Each structure stands twice: as structure tokens, then as C-alpha cells.
Structure 1
Amino acid sequence: MATGLRGPTNLFGHPTDQLMTQIDSQLSQWDSQKGKSITKISFGHFPLSFSAFSESQKSLRDVFLKHSVSAYLCGHLHTRFGKNLKRHHQSNDNFLSSHKFFQLNIHQEPSENTKNCLFRAPPPKEFWEWEMGDWRKSRAMRIVAVDRGHVSYLDIDFKSGTKKTIVLPTFPLDSRFMLTSSLHQMYGCQHMVPFSFETIRCLVFSVSPITSVVSRIYDTRPGSPLMIMETTMTKFVRDISRGDIYAAAWNYKAFEDPSPERFWLQIEVIDVMGRSTLSELRPFSVNGLSAKISWTWKEFFVMGCQWDALYYPIFWFAVYLILSILLIPKFVLVFSKKQYSYKTFISEKGLINCIAWVLQDLCRVHVAWFGFLGYLIYLLSCPWLIGQVFTDGGNRGYMTRMGWLVKTFNSREKHNYIGSPDIMVVVLPHFFFVVIPSILIAGALAAERSIYKGAFSITFRQERRQRFQSGK
């Protein structure tokens, strides 16, 4: 289709089977390069948490894992929901794994020990997903570098002003957001390329000539950072047009440690104007251990949940919850000797008795009870909305719980259930914030009605008794 769906049911990215085949084919040609170490980085707009499955139930995540992509850079959310919108994906063949639905932290824990030191053993299938800030609103820019297979990046915020000098450390990698379990496996099995570990390296961009580049390593074990190494970095003379590469030799084995956050790296650059620029202080782990970083609730909500896979489980949970609220009290009212009422609640106060009393009083109001049950059946089997579906108008369509049912503009071909699971932004809030609260409010009103009805009955009997006694 040449046009998109109207908001708010246009929340997800919808890769087609044709696009999946093209991506798979393009990545496959690099897999066939035997004997060459090739770093693959993919770019896209939507994060994988808001990318739907294709019609044949293929996902971008599975394609990236299949071809061992190093990183997937995306936008859409940018930095509106937090600064740690990053996620480490790793293959998990367990059918009952919860990772298909959600991931609690930035780093995905492997289902089993992935260390395999056999010669030519396949590395773990994994990749990083890094959300990017946007330039239009946040004036944010990201520089990505590939250094002997190690992928690193630096986010730059131009809202605080222009940058005369930019420093991007390329090795060792940040143990929070850049390390992979394959690096830990290679280091433990001594399969890594020692040459890539023997120097500290950085990439420097500057408008003025550089006079000094110094790397410093801090040890945080004493409690406060203590500088334990300071060395001058030397410029690599290479024919490159963007940035200068600086390196300094070090004994990387001296920094092996079981803690991924013990040692921290910072690089200082001084130009001919005497201006000093410091890189961000970053933790590193030469033996490839990743520091555990937790999301905030907002970050988990937008990055940790795989909403395409979660839509129907949440939907049917809401349906069964509503059916339970309606049918269980009705069953108890009809078939059980124990009845719940205001008198029962007064004699045995408690939350369960209160809920049972309220819902049973709703069951006694047959019009309301059958009305809610009929409305639920309608929502499951009938259209919810009717209107113009596309952004530029066109034919009308109607929305069901499974998506929009529309026709193309020539009215010849139907597109069944497009916009799924985008419709969850309408369906799920309606269930949880409209239908369920309405049932509870109706039950509370029915309970209030029974209280006043009982009080009125008692008052009426007392008045009749008084009149009878006064008549005597």
C-alpha cells in the first residue's frame, strides 16, 4: 500500500516478506566470505520491540541473529523514554523461554553455558540493539566505529554547544553497552586475536591540531577511583580523511578481573590552543564480562517488551478476567447455598466478602449483567470502529479485535486484518480502563441500591409497626 494507517493504530513497523527476503539475501552474501572477518551493522527506524512479524511470521530479530549482525541502530523512540534504550539480543532455542515476550534487563542471560572452546565452534548468535537520539529535536548525533571487529559508538549532544574536539575510545570496549558474550568466550578460550588487545585505541576528531593524547585507567576497588596507569598515546599515520587514530601499548592481562566495573578508562586530548577535552569515563573488561545495567520502568516498557508477541496473551487475559468477574459470581448465586450480601459483609468484613457481595448484587440486576455479557460477545465478534483508515482518505474500513478490514482503492482486493497489533492501543485500554472499571462501578451501584433498599424496607416496617401500635 502506498499510504499508511491513521493514528493511533500506526504504532508498529511492518516488514513484509519481500523485505525479509531482501535483507536475508544481502546479509547472506557476506556470510559466504570465507576466511574474512566481516562486521555487519544494520539500520532501521523502528526498535524491534515495536516491529511486527511478517505475514509468514518472520521477524527482523531472527534474521539478525541468523547472520550474526554486530549491531542494529534504530530510532522512532529516540530519547523520550530514557537514555538506556539499548538491548542485547541472544539466540534462545527454548520454546518456553520468556525472552520471546519480554526481557527484564539490558543484557539477556543465555539459557545455558555458551562457552565452547572446540576448534571452529560457532560463536553465540547475538547482536546489540542501540536506539539513537534524533537531530531535529534533541540535536543528537552518533559516531559508530569498527576497530578490528570491535564496534563502539559515541553519542554527542549539540544542545550544549558545538564540539571543538570529539574523542571516541574504540578499545577496550564499554562493558555496559558494547561487550558481547562471544568476546568473553573467545578470551576464555584464547581464540581472540592478541594484536587487537595489545593497545588502547581511540579516534579523535578536532578542528585544531592535537598536541597531546593521554589515556588514564582508574581502579574503583578502593572505593573512590584511583588512577593506576597513565600513558601517552601515539598517532597512527594513515591515509584517512576523517579523524585520527591514537594508540598506546599496555599489558592487558594485568587488567583481568571478575568484576566488569572495576577498571575505568578515560582519555584526555589537548589541542594547540591549550583546550582540554575528556572522554566519558567508561568501565571496561578485557576478559569480556558485561556490567549489568537495569532499565527504568519506562525503558523496560518500550524496549524490554515484545509487544507483537504480547498482544494476544494480554488480550485473552483481559477477556477471561471479564468472564470470571461475570460468570463466577453468577455461578455461586445460582448453584451455591452460600449467598453474599450486605448483611454477610457486615458480619464478616473482608476484601473477598466485599468483592463477592458487590459482584453478586450486580448479578441480581439482570439487565446490567446480561448487558455486559452481551457487550463482551459483541467486542469479540463484531466491528469496533468504522471510518477512513488511511492517511489520505480513501475507502472506509472497519476495525475488529484482529485488525482493520479494508479494501484497496480500486475496491478489487481485500486486505484482511492490517494494522495488527497496532490496534492494541485501542483494544487493550478499552478493556482495562473502560469495560472492567464499568463492571466494578455498576456492581458498586447495585450494592448501594441493595443497601438503601434494605434500609428503606426496615424503615417502612418500623413506621407500620408504630402506626399499628398508636392505632390501638
Structure 2
Amino acid sequence: MKQDEAEWVEYQNIMHDVVKRSGLNKSAFYDLRGNHDNFAVPVIGGPFDFFSKYSLHGQLKRSGKVSSITVETSKRKLLFVGFDSTMSTGLRGPTNLFGHPTDELLTEISSELSLLDSQSAWPVTKISFGHFPLSFSAASNSGKTLKDVFLKNSVMAYLCGHLHTRFGKNLKRHHESSHHTLYSNRLFQLNAHPNPSENTANSNGEIIEEFWEWEMGDWRKSRAMRILAIDRGLISFVDIDFKLGVNKTIILPTFPLDSRFTTSFQNQNCHTSDPSSCGTVRALVFPASPIVSVVAMVYDTSPEKLVVVLETPMTKLAGSRGDLYVAPLNFKAFEDPSPERFLLQIQATDIMGKSTYTERRPFSANGHHARLSWSWREFLVMGCQWDALYYPILWSLYYLAFSILLFPKAILSFSKKQYTYKNFKANRCVTYGLAWIFKELYEVPMVWYSMVGYMLYLVLCPWFSGQILSEGIERGYMTYRGWVLKINKMEKLEFLGFPDVMVVVLPHIFFIVLPAYTVIMALAAEKGIFHDHLLSVSSKKKDDHGSENKDSALMNNCKNRSEFILCRRWIRKILLAISLLICWRHFKNCRALTKAYEMNPIIHYPVYSLVIPLMLAYTIYKTRRT
């Protein structure tokens, strides 16, 4: 996976058109480098760095990896800090998946975020934005993370991209300080909000450090856009999906806040530091036609049927930037232990008589958080800290595989018992059954040695040699620890693309190696079962009719379904079909890697590409007869 300069020329033309139509100064636009903008870029600013050449960032001569923007109002300052955390040496995809913030970058981000802390008498609302979600951002060499920096500097929201809407539209996560959390909680989080029904204050009454992470949809494929508003320090947003149709009017409620996306600071700000902000319903309206009326409605969900408990007209606030509509609200009247009981909806009607409605958003006058659940795909990409999970998953699989392959071998080498399928049927013991399966596997010694050898190879040797940068630059060697570009016996190896290589390593072990090993053991066991079946049938027949009559007698004894399955070896046929599926998946992966890194399977990765299919083929051949 590498970049196409023609696409960058198209991007440049589109952004120039966007700037021209907006009427804004070009300096008001910020674009950030993502992993796709860093594919096959050996040096930032080099001939293959199209981002620096065609992006607004490059055209405006913005240097450095951190950009900050400060917006001042009469009572508040807003600080936006964006950063580029792509790897310094841009590898080709797919092993260019993670953000790689260095200690220097984290220090610079922290410095920008804390810049106004001692200079401003007014409160500061801080928002950070970058390309990678925190689940796909690696820790620095010292172990520090972006999450640590955001919590330390009281960031309220982190906006990111990368995943877009491919894995779901609910890619949002609430982060809290983890000083007293379990180790497992630092590896994954089961729901978007860890404690939706609890207050965010600890036992000492101190406010827990927290912020929201909001993944944004992409425009290119999903035609998604987000509008974010900051109203008296309270952050709200609306996501617009243009694939569902273009709304002539866009409405963004700014208060009451959606209880699914609130923080303790926002709740505290409303009730203590700025209680006047709680006295009105507020909404921004972006119309294509003149607006005739705007109405705020509050629904009560406690009865079996939705009941409108408040319906009030909203008026446009004179002197506001944009169309801000307000209406009086007795916020305390809606206090309730449930953060999902009351729902807010805004209706706007234009001069053509067309009405536009917002979704019904829950809100809580008590400051409680509503539950925000993930689908399993959303959990995998947002709830798992993959850079921390990579090695635990990898070594767990290896310990399991080596335990299965080596321990039974050592035990059975000193055992004098006869482990057969016949004895297993008599004993019905799981341990006995496993011993019998491994005994059958050891009857094909070449396969067992190959299985152990291949597992050692994947740990000790390079997997393949590929073109990881631009054409004309030397090839690199990929291991489970990353890519090695130069091998010098006098220097310590430098690994690039860690933990990005996990997108190759873990799928190969999960979906190719382990299934193949399971099928190999199943084929060996099936051979033993069929051999036992032959012996049981043959013992009931006379042996003086020759091999042809023996086979005929065998088929005549296939009376019931189980005997028919054994006679026809249907289990083996199913295993053969599974073997073909594994090989098909493996060759499909090899084809993708060949295209990505310009490799020849025979020359650049013969062991990786051929060992699994050859092991399966050899096992199938050796187990065809009893």
C-alpha cells in the first residue's frame, strides 16, 4: 500500500475550492497527516512526501508536528491543539497502522496545552485533535501515552479519525484517570463509559481527571461530517450523514447537554460556576431557507408511552454569532436519578413549511451519565489498547501451542501405556483421549517436527523480505517485533513498525497456524478412529475370503448412520474441505502481502508461504490409509 500523487493533486484542487467557497482565510483551515499520508515516506519533506507538497499544512509552511489555535471570548479562552503522531519513517501499509508519539512530541503537546494555564485569568476550554484513536496509539519509549498528557492537562475532548465509520457509528470513549484501576482496565474497557451510573468523584471528594474521545466519520467514503460547538465551556456536537440525504436545515442543541457525552466538569460548571447557563434551552440552527419557528420539546419516558412534558417556542438571540435560538428552562424541575428519563428534541420549520427534527437526546439535571454501549466491532477498535495487548496475546498463543506440542510428547515418551481409540472408548477419560490423539500425531513424526520447527521459526527468524519504503530503497525484513531495515552485527537492531506488524502476525497465527495445527491433529485422530473401526468390523468376519471380500463385508456392515460415516470417512472429507479453506485464506493473505511489499513468494518468503500448505498436504497423504 503506497500513495498515488494524482489523488493528492485532486485533494489540493478540492481544498482550494472549499477555501474559496467558504470565504474564509486559508489560515483558518487545518489538515493533519494520517497513516495513509505517510505510506512509503522515508523522510519528511522528501520527494515522496506528498502531504508536505499538496496539503494546506505544507502550503502554509507550518513547521513542526504540533499546531495550536487560541480563540478568545469575553469570558473564556478556547485552546485547540492538533498534532501529527505518524511514525518518523513511513512504512507501507498494512504495517503502518498505529500512531507513534515520541517523548519529545508528548512534551511539546503538553507544553502547548498548558501554555494558557498561568497566563489567563479566564477559564480555558481545551480540545485536542489528531488522526489516531488512543486504542491505536502506541506508548513512547518511556512508557508515556497521549492519555496521560490529556488527563494531566485537563483536556475536555480529543477528536480523531483513522477508523471512520467502517466499524460503527458509535466510536466514542470516555477516559478517566487510572491511578487505582486494575491492570486489565488499562488493557481494555468494556463500554464507552466505564461507570455510567456513578458520580465521577472519588471517596475524598476530588474530581477524577477525565476527557472524551470522539472518533469522526470520514467524508471520502462515508460522506460524514461533524459540527462541534462550545457554549459557555460546554461542548456539544452533531454528526451528519449525507448518505441518508441532505437536510436543508441542521440543528445542534447546545444545552441541555446529551447525558451520554457529559463530563463531571461540565455538570459542575452548570450547577456552580455558571448557574445562569442552566436557565435556557439553547440550539444552533443552520438553515438553507429562512426559519419561521423553532420549538423545544421535552419528553418523559417513565410512562409506557412518550409524553410531552414541555413544548416551548425558541427565539433567536440577537447579537449572537450564527443563529442561536433560546427558550426559558426550569432545569431543576427535571431532576431525576435516571439519566435517560427525559429526552430533548428541537424542531425547526422554514419558510417553505418544511420541518426538521433533531434526534431525541437524553439529558440529566442531576449530572448523571447515560449508558453508551458498543457493538462487538466497536469494542474491538475502541475499547482495546492494542499496543499493550499485542505481546500478551502473542505469548499466550505461543505458550499454549508449545504446551500442547511438547508436554504430551515428554510424558508419553516415558509412559508404557497403550493409548488407542478402543481404550479411550472404554475409559471415557478426557486425559486418556488427549493422550490418544497426540499418540496418533506422533505416528507421523515429520509433521510433529515441522509443527515445532515452524513455531520456532516464527519467533527466531524473519518472516519475509519486502519493499517497505519507496522504490529503489533497500528491502527490509519483518519479524514479530517489527521491520529491520539494516542489519549490522556491530549495532543493536532497530525495529520499525511495532506494534503495527501485529496486523500480519496475529491473523496469521489465529486464522492460519492454529486452525491448520488443529486440522492436522484431527486428521491423525480420524485415521486412528477409522483403523479401530476396520479392526472391529474385520473381527466379526472370516479372514479366508481375500481382501476384496473383506472390503465387501465391510460395506455390508455399514448399517446405521454412525457406521456409514465411518465407512465413507466423511469426517476426513470435512477436514479436507477445511484444509482447502485454510489454504485459500493463506494464499489470499500471501497475495495481499506480495502486492503490498513487492515480493516473490518463492524468493522472499518461502517458509511463510509454503510450510502450512505443505504440512497439510503431507498429513493428508500420510493419513489416507490405515
Query: Fold-level match, TM-score > 0.5?
Result: yes
1:127 aligns with 2:127: no
Task: Name whichever structure is richer in strand by fraction.
Answer: 1
- Take 1:111 and 1:360, find their aligned partners in 2: how far apart are those partners? 55
Q: Which residue of 1 aligns with 2:154?
A: 68
What is residue 438 of structure 1 aligned with on the other side?
516
Tell me: higher relative CO, structure 1 or 2? Use CA pairs within 8 A at least 6 residues apart: 1
Report what 2:314 is aligned to.
233
TM-score by length of 2: 0.67
- For residues 22 and 98 of structure 1, what CA distance do their matches in structure 2 show? 30
Residue 40 of structure 1 aligns to a residue whose secondary structure is strand
In structure 2, the partner of 1:470 is none
Contact 1:407/1:414 (<8 A) preserved:
no
Give the alignment's Cα RMSD to 1 decimal. 2.9
2:395 to 316, 324, 348: 316
* CA distance in structure 1 between the aligned counterparts of 2:295 and 2:496, rounded to whole angstroms: 56
| Identity across matched positions, percent | 57
Structure 1 residues 176-187: aligned runs within 5 Å: 176=260, 178-184=261-267
Change in 2 beyond 3 A, CA 1:30/1:350? farther
Distance 1:226 1:335, change over 3 A: same
Hey, what's the Cα distance between the residues in 2 that align with 1:433 and 1:223? 47
Give 1:251 deviation, angstroms: 1.0
2:244 equivalent in structure 1: 160
Q: Using a 3 Å threshold, how does the CA distance of structure 1 residues 106 and 393 change in structure 2: closer, same or farther?
A: farther
Structure 1 residue 94 and structure 2 residue 180: aligned?
yes
Q: Which amino acid aligns with 1:214?
A: V
For residues 66-124 of structure 1, what are the alpha-carbon distances to aligned partners after superposition, in whole Å with 9 as ceiling and x for unaligned? 11111111111111111111111111113633221111001023999743698xx7632
Aligned residue for 2:475, secondary structure, equals strand
CA distance in 2 between counterparts of 1:174 and 1:156 reads 16
**Contact 1:235/1:247, CA 8 A, preserved across alignment:** yes
Match of 1:384 among 463, 466, 470: 463
In structure 1, which of residues 332, 335, 357 is the aligned counterpart of residue 436 of structure 2?
357
In the alignment, the residues of structure 1 paired with residue 538 and residue 245 of structure 2 have an alpha-carbon distance, to the nearest angstrom, of 80
Contact conserved, 1:263 with 1:284, CA < 8 A, in 2? yes
- Residue 117 of structure 2 aligns to which amino acid in structure 1? D
Name 2:571's counterpart in structure 1. Answer: none
- Does 2:88 match 1:5? no
2:166 counterpart of 1:85: no
TM-score (norm 1): 0.88
Q: What is the identity, as a one-letter code, of the residue corresponding to 1:126?
A: E
Pairing 1:14–2:95 present: no
Q: Residue 260 of structure 1: CA displacement?
A: 0.7
Give the direction of change, closer, same or farther, for the CA distance of 1:404–1:202 in structure 2 (3 Å limit).
Answer: same
AA matched with 1:39? T
1:368 aligned to 2:447? yes
What letter matches 1:9 in structure 2? Answer: T
The within-5 A match list for 1:229-378 is 229-238=310-319, 240=321, 243-336=322-415, 339-349=418-428, 353-378=432-457
Unaligned runs of 5+ in 1: 468-472
**Matched AA of 1:157:** D
CA separation of 1:460 and 1:234: change in aligned 2, threshold 3 A? closer
SS in 1 for 2:125: coil
Give 1:200's match in structure 2, choosing from 281, 303, 308.
281
Paired residues, number? 457
Q: Is the 8 A contact 1:116 1:185 kept in 2?
A: no
- Shift of the 369–159 alpha-carbon distance from structure 1 to 2, 3 Å rule, reads closer
CA spacing shift, 1:217–1:368, aligned 2, 3 Å: same
> Whole-Å Cα distance in 2 between the matches of residues 363 and 25 of structure 1?
62
Deviations 1:147-194 (A, max 9, x none): 111100011122333332211000111112x2123445667xx53421
Alpha-carbon contact 1:333-1:339 (below 8 Å) kept = no
User: Is the CA contact 2:232–2:277 (under 8 Å) kept in the aligned structure 1?
Assistant: yes
The C-alpha deviation readout for 1:203-247, integer Å capped at 9, x for no partner, is 11113332222111110111221001111222211252xx21111
Contact 2:343 2:362 in 1 (8 A): yes
